[in-house]
Amino acid sequence: MQTNKKQKIILGSSSSHRKKLLDKYLENYQIIEPNIDENLEYFEFNSKYSEELAKIKSHKIREKANGSIIITSDQIGVLDKKLLKKPLDHKNAIEQLLGYSNKQVTFYTSVCIYNQNSHIEYIHTDETLINFSKITYNLAEEYLTKDLPYNCCGSFKIEGRGLLLIDKIDTKDPTAVIGLPMIYILSILKELGHITS
């Protein structure tokens, strides 16, 4: 349960998926959208990329808050050393999903937790490996029609009907691929006294 500490918690995100995850554990927190440019130059597409974006979001929120605990996160998908982006429309989503057929995609989910009182920054990244099954056009169409994942990294969300598309998931935290590595976040919030065990 969340305690009645005065220090405010801020989720720096516009994602409804991240909000739903945090809602399960926190009753009182504020949302501030960071609104940053997520295109970084001179970065390889790996965990450092998602970590840097999470930190940039955190710094943007710090300008708007005082004395808070700020939680920001970013997720990227990587296939054949190429960055997977949000499809935004049906055509792009179909192309992405068909490209996953019988392949492994790596999702990096990074979180930055910053305590404005102690000035301590906590950085963590979860790596999720997803082995996709054979994806036909009809299967991709069925999935997209039901889940509408057009604003999701790589056209994929595990919390919906995404299990239809995969053979195997390798992860230490099943919430990470949804958008927030909650096992790590909860451990830090316990350490900071904001959640009692």
Q: Catalytic residue positions? A: 74
* HEC assignment per residue over the chain: CECCCCCCEEEECCCHHHHHHHHCCCCCCEECCCCCCCCCCCCCCCHHHHHHHHHHHHHHHHCCCCCCEEEEEEEEEEECCEEECCCCCHHHHHHHHHHCCCCEEEEEEEEEEEECCCCEEEEEEEEEEEEECCCCHHHHHHHHHHHCCCCCHHHCCCCCCHHHHEEEEECCCCCHHHCCCHHHHHHHHHHCCCECC
Residue type, 80: D
